[in-house]
Amino acid sequence: MTKERFETSKMPHLVVRCHGDLQIRSWSEAAVLVKGENCQTIESEDQLSLECSGDLSLTVPAAAIVEVVEVEGDLSAKNVEGALNLASVMGDAALHNLGSVELGTIHGDLAVRGLNGPFSAGEIMGDTSLRNIAGVTINSVHGDLAIAYANGDVQLKNVMGDVALKTINGDVHISQGQRDLNLRNLGGQIQVDNISGDIRLVGGLKAGKHTLSAQGDIVVRWPAGEPLNVEATAPRVQNRLSNLEKVVEEEGYLSGRLGDGETTLILSAKGRIILKDAEPVAEAWEGADMEFDWDDLGTHIADEINNRFSEFSSKLEGRFGPEFSAEIERKVQQATARAERATAKAVRHAEKLARQAQRHGWSPPPPPSAKERKATEEEQMKILRMVENKVITPEEAETLLEALEN
């Protein structure tokens, strides 16, 4: 593997084609450090073009503009404030603490954490997890999609898997979803044109008109005291809102108001529509210990693992080099993203069991203990500590971490 340094400005333009795995990191120097296999480079004024036949590691100025034409393996990018343009990624991608990202096609899974600018994507073939970002525009996702803490608008054209949106400050427009949709703590205008599965909405909405349409059921948990003007059309409409006034009920239709009614919610479903007061899931689980915030469990796990790994990564880099540290970090990010998605699915399943229990009067099984929840996290950190103590080799650690992910 060759190592070359190219002197550049503080905001160079890089054009990259990589036939293996690609890792991008930033530093404070006005130079680009290239470590790769059989790399060909072309320098011009403020632009550096690279093509490598194998794996490639780039260290770039923080404000660099990076244009990735193709990555045939996995991609890991971190701490780059400039724009990142990704035309094609054949493997997985883990993006952390970046400026703006424009993505063409990614064939694997995508995990994004911390994005100061907008995010846009054409086609994502795997699962997607986005957190602590600005606005989002996605044309197509073939797997599941989870977005949390977005400080901007979210526009989704077509998602094949489940969708979970939480704490979105901007407007939300979803054209088509093939499975279920979960919405919580939304701060803008909501328009959902068509969801093939169920829609679950928890929390109030801002003043204005909001529309939700589903082929399955729609369940709305509305906070007490929040204004609402609701119109619901479905073969079966159930109103469990305790203070709904001016109710008009006809076959397949219900309307009513709460407070001044400045928030208008128009619902349409081919299955049922259920309106109920917002309440913790714990109330339906009699005798179970539900004090833990189950809705945020995946986020808690991911944050804890990332925080601990951040403290540990500098030691790994000092002992085994930046390439190994970056590779382990990429695997940890992928594992935590999968943990978040799996936890979200488990919570949705738990809520479904709770509703069935309430309806039929039987008790669902208790949730897993805190000890069980922490097992994967502790195992990952054990592996990393064994590397530090030279109990196992870096290669053996990679194998063990990969086994944990699967």
Three state DSSP letters for the chain? CEEEEEECCCCCEEEEEECCCEEEEEECCCEEEEEECCEEEEEECCEEEEEECCCEEEEEECCCEEEEEEECCCEEEEEECCCEEEEEECCCEEEEEECCEEEEEECCCEEEEEECCCEEEEEECCCEEEEEECCEEEEEECCCEEEEEECCCEEEEEECCCEEEEEECCCEEEEEECCCEEEEEECCCEEEEEECCCEEEECCCCCEEEEEEECCCEEEEECCCCCEEEEEECCEEEEECCCCEEEEEECCEEEEEECCCCEEEEEEECCEEEEEECCCHHHHCCCCCCCCCHHHHHHHHHHHHHHHHHHHHHHHHHHHCHHHHHHHHHHHHHHHHHHHHHHHHHHHHHHHHHHHHHHHCCCCCCCCCHHHHCHHHHHHHHHHHHHHCCCCCHHHHHHHHHHHHC
End-to-end CA distance of the chain: 30
196: confidence class by pLDDT, cuts 50, 70, 90 = very high
Q: What is the pLDDT of residue 219?
A: 95
278-296: average pLDDT:
44
Q: What is the pLDDT of residue 343?
A: 62
Tell me the per-residue pLDDT of 298-314, one tens digit each, with 9 for 90 and over.
Answer: 555 655 565 555 556 55
Tell me the per-residue pLDDT of 324-382, one tens digit each, with 9 for 90 and over.
Answer: 666 666 666 666 666 655 665 666 556 555 555 555 555 444 544 444 444 455 666 67
81-96: average pLDDT:
94
Smallest Cα–Cα separation from 182: which of 149, 220, 238?
Answer: 220
Amino acid of residue 167: T
Owner of token pair 């690609």: 22
Q: What is the pLDDT of residue 281?
A: 45
386: confidence class by pLDDT, cuts 50, 70, 90 = confident
pTM above 0.85, yes or no: no
Q: What is the mean pLDDT of the chain?
A: 82
Q: Are 16 and 58 in contact (CB under 8 A)?
A: yes
- Alpha-carbon distance of 101 to 111, in angstroms, equals 12
Q: What is the pLDDT of residue 293?
A: 43
CA dist 73 to 91, 95, 145, 280, 335, Å?
A: 5, 15, 22, 43, 17
Q: What is the pLDDT of residue 367?
A: 47
Q: Which of 40-49, 77-86, 114-123 is least confident? A: 40-49
33: confidence class by pLDDT, cuts 50, 70, 90 = very high
Q: Is the pLDDT reported for residue 6 higher than 70?
A: yes
Q: What is the pLDDT of residue 291?
A: 34
Q: What is the pLDDT of residue 396?
A: 66
Owner of token pair 């989870």: 146
Strand partners, 48: 14, 43
Smallest Cα–Cα separation from 37: which of 228, 403, 323?
Answer: 323
389: confidence class by pLDDT, cuts 50, 70, 90 = confident
Cα 176–178–179 angle (5° rounding)?
A: 125
Strand partners, 26: 60
- Alpha-carbon distance of 156 to 172, in angstroms, equals 8
- Alpha-carbon distance of 384 to 390, in angstroms, equals 10
Number of neighbours of residue 357 by Cβ within 10 angstroms: 15
